[in-house]
Amino acid sequence: MSAKDRREQLLAVSRQLFAEKGFDGTSIEEIAVRAQVSKPVVYEHFGGKEGVYAVVVDREVQALTTALTDALTAGGHPRALLERTALALLTYIESNEDGFRVLVRDSPVAQATGTFSSLIGDVAMQVEHLLGDQFRKQGLNPKFSPIYAQMLVGMVALTGQHWLDSRRFKKDEVAAHLVNLAWNGLSGMERAPALAPKD
C-alpha cells in the first residue's frame, strides 16, 4: 500500500471510530488495530490522535461548507434558497453519516474554527445578509436579521441531528416540513413583535 493510500485508510478508520466512540473514547491503539498496522505507523502519518482528528474534522467541515455555500449562493427566490439549503444539509448527513456524527460532537481540540458550532455560525452569517435584504423589501427592521439567521440555521441543524438518529421520514419530507415552518413563519412576521402582556 502506498503512503497516500495508507493515509486515506487511516483517515477512514479514524473517522468511523470517532463517529462511534468520540474523541476521548478512541485511542491510537484502536485505530492501529482496526487498520491492521502498528501504532508507530499512525504516529508517522499524523503525529498523534489530535493530528488525525484535526484532519478528519477539517475534511468534514470543508465538505459541508461547500455543500451549504453552493446552496446559498445559487441565487433565486428566498424560498428556493431555503429549500436548497435544507436539502444540502440533509443530503450531506445522508451520505456522510460518520462525518456528521464527528462534527456534531464537542471538539476536544482547542481551536477557534472547525467545530460544528463555528460552521453553523459561518452559515448563519451568510443567511443574515440574505435575510437583511428580504427584511428591507418587506418593511421589516434589518437590524434583527442576525438573530433570525441564527434561528433558521439552528432549526435546520438541530432537525438534521434528530433526523440522523431517527430516519423516520424521507429526506424530502423533512426538508419540506422545515421549509413549511420557516417560510410560512417568515411570511407572516409582524413588524414589531412583542410578548403578550402579563396578567
CATH of the domain at 184: 1.10.357.10
At position 120, the amino acid (one-letter code) is I
Please give the pLDDT value at position 73: 81
pLDDT at 106 over 70: no
Q: Is 6 contained in some domain?
A: no
Cell of 46: 499524523
Residue 19 lies in a domain: no
To 10 degrees, what angle do helices 49-73 and 28-35 make?
80
pLDDT digits (tens, 9 = 90+) for 135-187: 888 888 899 989 988 888 888 888 988 998 888 999 999 999 998 998 888 77
**pLDDT of amino acid 110:** 38
Is residue 26 situated within a structural domain? no
d(CA 114, CA 121): 11
Q: Is there a domain that residue 14 lies in?
A: no
Residue with cell 433526523: 163
| Nearest CA-CA partner of 156 in 80, 109, 87, 71 | 87
Torsion of CA 126, 121, 63, 8, to 10 degrees: 150
Q: Is 45 a member of any domain?
A: no
Helices (H), 74-170: 78-95, 97-104, 116-137, 145-166
Is 36 part of any domain? no
The predicted structure's pLDDT at residue 79: 84
Q: Which residues contact 39 (CB under 8 A, 6 or more apart)?
A: 28, 29, 32
Residue type at 147 in one-letter notation:
I
Least confident of 86-95, 113-122, 129-138: 113-122
Q: Which domain holds residue 138?
A: 56-188
Asked, for residue 148, whether it belongs to a domain, the answer is yes
Instruction: Supply the mean pLDDT for the chain.
Output: 87
**Other beta carbons less than 10 A from residue 24's beta carbon:** 10
| Number of compact structural domains in the chain | 1
The predicted structure's pLDDT at residue 198:
86
Asked if residue 199 belongs to a domain, the reply is no
